[in-house]
Amino acid sequence: MSSHDLRIPEQLSVQVQAYLNHLMIERGLSDNTMDAYRRDLKRYLLYLTQENVTGVETISVHHVSGFLQALSSGSHHMGQLAVSSVNRVLVAARGWHRFMFLENITPTNPAADIAPPKTGQHLPDGLTIDQVERLLDTPSPETASGLRDRALMELLYAAGARITEAIALDVDDLITIDEIDETIVVRLFGKGSKERIVPLGSYAVDAINAYLIRGRPQLAAGGKGSAALFLNRFGGRITRQTGWNVIKQAARDAEITDDISPHTLRHSFATHLLQGGADVRVVQELLGHASVTTTQIYTHVTADTLREVFAYAHPRAAR
């Protein structure tokens, strides 16, 4: 019997839905994150159903570890997953068990001592400064969509924004704090609707102003007065897919052969700041990371620079 033919016991479904409600209401997770939790927990419930589990009180540590093994091996109709994907699914399962334990739904937490499989550190791919400049120079300044695409990419790189944060921006999220110097900050809403304020450099400000003056009014003419900053040709808010397409097309036009995405500009933002001497905790705030540990994955890129500075500056470095 395939997993598609299984009927998940009602008690399991009810308790998972209670956890999803908690995530949505109490923690305010984004729609994309909620969809990921639903998929991952459904996968877990299908495994438990195959193991004849009908109630949460009977789930044991062996079920959790068995699920981990099934994900890694592809047994139980799970489909073999990469280590990073296994870890993501395990986070959802562990969060559910922790929730049920803290809410006194179950007497124990069977996932408490289950460690995620080890994975090699993934070092984010980034672009060189020259590649970024080539990428940002590709959109045509003669068309409304070209002005929009340039402004979008400049903002992604200037603010280290996620593509979902950028497309969610309204015009009012751009805040002028100095009219004379044209100093502008952008208000971004990250994971869990956490707000952060990020300053924009002069290149991004110029690109956004050009779009607001010469590009956005043309695009807005085809719509019904959307407050969105980045508009499509129908005058509505652009989609995440449009943002991806903009980056892909710009990469082709700039003859950048690396497989890049909107997140590549976020990686490059962090990398170039650290290479320029920015403090990792400042970069953490700008990226909107809850923990500095997440940001520290970018510090590998400064290793060569640090060694050069050390060799030059430390009185006992030279041999």
Active site residues: 162, 191, 263, 266, 289, 298
Residue of 52, 67, 64, 68 whose CA lies nearest to 98? 64
**HSE-CB for 308 with a 13 A CA cutoff:** 6
With beta carbons less than 8 A apart as the criterion, state whether 7 and 49 touch. yes
Beta bridge mates, 196: 188
| First and final C-alpha spacing in the chain | 69
Q: Say how far apart CA 178 and CA 260 lie, in whole Å.
A: 35
Angle at 193 between CA 190 and CA 195, to 5 degrees: 65
φ/ψ region of 186 (left if φ > 0, alpha if ψ in -120 to 50, else beta) reads beta
